[in-house]
Structure 1
Amino acid sequence: MSLYQRRAALKERIPGGLDGRRMLWIALVDKTGAGLWAATAALYFTYVTGLSVAQVGILVAVSAGIGIAGAPIAGRIADRLPLTRVLIAMQVQRAAAGLALLATDDYALLIGISAVASVGDRAANVLTKLYAARITGPDRVRYQAVNRTVSNGGFAIGGLAAATALGIGTTLAYQSLLVGNAVASLAAALLTLRCGEAPSPTRIVTGSGAGAPAARPASPWRDRTYLFYTASETVLFLDDAVFKVGLPLWIVHATDAPHGLAPLLLVLNNVMVVALQIPLARYGATTQAAVRLLLPLAAAFAAGALAMSLSAVHGAWIATAALVAAAALLTLAEILHATVSWELSLALAPDEAQGAYLGAHGLAQASQRSIGPLVMTAVIAAGPAGWALLGAGLAATCLAQHRLVRDHLPVPALSVPPATVSHK
């Protein structure tokens, strides 16, 4: 097969056509910039702006808490306005906020600017997900797997570049990372300008029937099933806090494993996501398949947490082996949950209110960013029993979610959404 034929075959395997491929480039650029900043934000505020550790903690917590509002607000707006224009506005907002951080050392202003950036970040995540759902239709699970793989690659590239700058350690080096993140957001906005607008069931439906009163749109805040589902998602998204907070602190304070193992396990997590997200996505390609996937997800969470408990035994080799097993199992859980969450968050949402519902669902991941570190510190304080309890809680949440969505989805429930408009 020639190079041209291989490239053509690859394009055919990416759902969403030309706009789908453009969004993947946008994800790569955007997440590369995010990787630059995420790895160095705390150090920037410490060494460049001169904040204390406590001040940095408060800044991160407050800005993340305010940023939670970005998801539902953006989702609601995207049901009424052209989605790509709203996404561009959020990308520009993030870039402007990033550059504004360079202009001040005032603590109150730093909190306010960081909150603005956080709102834009959470909003952009929801809008990107909604756009993918609208342009990929029945292939949305496979597309999300490709998108997540590309995004992890971008984070890795950004993280490696950040590590180089940290090795230099100068104020200019830190500032260059902040500028790089802002430039990446602006580049993503420019690339989004080239994307076609996806069809919106809301704007099509409410515009039909001259003189007829518009029906009251469905709201996730009146949908108890969706609210319960979102609440359970907040628990399952704790895998993020496990890798970013729990695992490094546990290795240092409770095991005989070498401290250098912590970054290596994060590399293992990233490599597994890149290698397995796409192949495993086919097991959740329909709504019913995604529901069934909740059972092995419960087992993966429980086994991973149990391995974390066992890593507290004496002996560096045994602790290291247990931690590697735990990281692999919890990464598998992360991959399975990403597939399940992507499908069910859309399957439970009415077509005419996908933006509002995905915005509400975005609260789960945003809320976890605030409460996750607190949960991890409590788990570590409780010792091995804390990990066992966490694993039991995660597994029980998966089983409860399985029953909740199974009883509230039509049968058969396919991933293919009903067509509301033809693509021309």
Structure 2
Amino acid sequence: MFFSGKFLPASGAERTLAGTTLLSSMGKGIFLTAGVLYLTRAVSLPAVETGVLFSVAGLVSVLAGVPLGRTADRFGPRLVFWCSLATSSVSAFAFLLCRGYADSLFVVVVATSAQAALLVARGPVINRIATGKPQELRAYVRSVTNAGIALGAAVAGWAASQDTAQAYRVLVVVCGFCFAAALLVALRLPQLAPLSAERASRWAALRDRPYVVLSLIDGVLSIQYRVLTVALPLWIVTATETPRWTVSAAVVFNTVLVILFQVRVSRGIDSPPRAARAMLAAGLFLMLSCLAVAATAGTSGSTAIALLAFAVTVHSLGELQQAAGGFELSNTLAPPHALGQYLGVFGMGMGFAESFGPALLTWLCIGWGWPGWCLMGAMFLAAGASAGPVVRWAGRTRPAAQAEPQPA
């Protein structure tokens, strides 16, 4: 059994990973929610320059994914995991030293790259310590991640309500201590021997064309992570007459669904063909969600609220399917001796989505109105539908033992 109780994993190593994930995710939730506010309100940087700063940092972290993954393969994922937590803590405290644009850019680049390293190293750690199916532990860790981010966002909400430089500085200190506490817990992880990275060429993952295409497909689907935090709030405010509380209600409802159902959904997605079907289902659900949001244009009252509730529900179903499918494809189609490097490449798709997704969603869904939502839905569907042929292509280009479906 994966769970020894109702909520906790069975083994001590898995519980250690869950604990450090909860603490580090709280720090990440604070960073995501209040990082921009700190630089604009406490450091007094212009809002536009701050947005560019975070975009540049996001691109740097994307490009760092492959070398970070190779480092995890060569020196062991546990060491990179520890270093990423330590760097995240130090960079959080370093925000207190920011006085201008250049030093703020440096700190944000370091902090964002440390988060990228954390994700790259966590994948191999999960695969090595899982006592049951790795996909179940990945799903559990994702549920814990969402819970931690939600808690961090709630803490950041206190600082936002105070809206003073002192409150934001206190928040930075809390963020730094979250990562430091996560590191202390992570020190209990068992020794994980380095992989034989010499067997893989330095750029093997980038030359694996099916894998790179799958990372781009996952990247397109990953734009959905910004729908509920960027496009939907702007749409509710500008194109509907629904109550403003629906903005926060949508995010909370989505978070609860992911926490409750990610493990259950991921349980049956244990082979590349099943993962491809999950990506197709994700595309379908996300398209339906976009169409439902488009239908709220000009509506008000209970009709608009009902449509938004339906949209958030099917969006959450799409998110669950995409996360499970992406987990399985990124890990199963990567050679074991270069898993970190391959996960670094796969993460580039989501990195690009996080960097360019908000601008694309704003341009299409807000600038074009309901036709833009329909076009976005079509993009999600096309990405999900293309996963199946690319997975079959990937199966033809790697060893049979690695490509053939795992037993259910």
State the number of aligned residues: 401
Of residues 357, 378, 392 in structure 1, which corresponds to 2:378?
392
Of residues 77, 92, 96 in structure 1, which corresponds to 2:86?
92
Q: What pairs with 1:25-424 in structure 2 (closer than 5 Å)?
A: 25-136=19-130, 139-202=133-196, 216=201, 219-379=204-364, 380-409=366-395, 410=400, 412-414=404-406
Flag as ranges the 4+ runs of structure 1 deviating above 6 A: none
- The aligned amino acid for 1:386 is G
Retained in 1: the 8 A contact 2:284–2:380? no
- Report the alpha carbon displacement of residue 290 of structure 1 after superposing the two structures with TM: 1.9
Q: Which stretch of structure 1 is more off in the superposition, 146-155 or 308-317?
A: 308-317
- Report the alpha carbon displacement of residue 371 of structure 1 after superposing the two structures with TM: 0.5
Question: Aligned partners of 2:133, 2:180: CA distance in 1, in Å?
Answer: 29
- The aligned amino acid for 1:165 is A
- Report the alpha carbon displacement of residue 7 of structure 1 after superposing the two structures with TM: 12
Structure 2 residues not aligned, in runs of 5+: none
Question: Aligned partners of 1:137, 1:348: CA distance in 2, in Å?
Answer: 20
SS at match of 1:80: helix
Question: Cα gap change, 1:216/1:317 in structure 2, threshold over 3 Å: closer, same or farther?
Answer: closer
Residue-by-residue CA offset, 1:253-299 (whole Å, 9 max, x unaligned):
11121222111100111111111112211231333322232332222
Question: Aligned partners of 1:266, 1:51: CA distance in 2, in Å?
Answer: 28
- The aligned amino acid for 2:187 is L
Question: Aligned partners of 2:87, 2:94: CA distance in 1, in Å?
Answer: 10
- Report the alpha carbon displacement of residue 36 of structure 1 after superposing the two structures with TM: 2.1
SS at match of 2:354: helix
Q: Which stretch of structure 1 is more off in the superposition, 268-277 or 130-139?
A: 130-139
Question: Aligned partners of 1:340, 1:85: CA distance in 2, in Å?
Answer: 28
* Identity fraction in percent: 27
Retained in 1: the 8 A contact 2:33–2:153? yes
Retained in 2: the 8 A contact 1:100–1:113? yes
Q: Which stretch of structure 1 is more off in the superposition, 345-354 or 278-287?
A: 278-287
- Report the alpha carbon displacement of residue 317 of structure 1 after superposing the two structures with TM: 2.4
SS at match of 1:9: coil
Work out whether 1:18 is the aligned partner of 2:12. Answer: yes
Question: Aligned partners of 1:278, 1:259: CA distance in 2, in Å?
Answer: 32
Question: Aligned partners of 1:135, 1:331: CA distance in 2, in Å?
Answer: 28
- The aligned amino acid for 1:364 is G
- Report the alpha carbon displacement of residue 324 of structure 1 after superposing the two structures with TM: 1.5
SS at match of 1:39: helix
Question: Aligned partners of 2:163, 2:89: CA distance in 1, in Å?
Answer: 23
Question: Cα gap change, 1:399/1:359 in structure 2, threshold over 3 Å: closer, same or farther?
Answer: same
SS at match of 1:14: coil
- The aligned amino acid for 1:68 is V
Q: Which stretch of structure 1 is more off in the superposition, 302-311 or 135-144?
A: 135-144
Question: Aligned partners of 1:149, 1:70: CA distance in 2, in Å?
Answer: 26
Question: Aligned partners of 1:361, 1:408: CA distance in 2, in Å?
Answer: 14
Question: Aligned partners of 2:260, 2:336: CA distance in 1, in Å?
Answer: 32
Retained in 2: the 8 A contact 1:229–1:401? yes
- The aligned amino acid for 1:278 is V
Q: CA RMSD in A?
A: 2.3
- Report the alpha carbon displacement of residue 137 of structure 1 after superposing the two structures with TM: 7.0
Retained in 2: the 8 A contact 1:217–1:352? no
- Report the alpha carbon displacement of residue 201 of structure 1 after superposing the two structures with TM: 4.2
Question: Aligned partners of 1:334, 1:277: CA distance in 2, in Å?
Answer: 9
Partner of 1:211: none
Rg larger in structure: 1
Q: Which stretch of structure 1 is more off in the superposition, 377-386 or 406-415?
A: 406-415
- The aligned amino acid for 2:368 is A
Q: Which stretch of structure 1 is more off in the superposition, 190-199 or 355-364?
A: 190-199
Q: Which stretch of structure 1 is more off in the superposition, 332-341 or 183-192?
A: 183-192
TM-score, normalisation: structure 2: 0.92
Structure 1 residues not aligned, in runs of 5+: 1-5, 207-213, 417-424
SS at match of 2:334: coil
- Report the alpha carbon displacement of residue 9 of structure 1 after superposing the two structures with TM: 2.8
Question: Aligned partners of 1:122, 1:415: CA distance in 2, in Å?
Answer: 31
Question: Aligned partners of 2:201, 2:152: CA distance in 1, in Å?
Answer: 44
Question: Aligned partners of 1:381, 1:38: CA distance in 2, in Å?
Answer: 25
Question: Aligned partners of 1:276, 1:186: CA distance in 2, in Å?
Answer: 30
Retained in 1: the 8 A contact 2:200–2:338? no
Question: Aligned partners of 2:388, 2:131: CA distance in 1, in Å?
Answer: 24
Question: Aligned partners of 2:289, 2:109: CA distance in 1, in Å?
Answer: 34
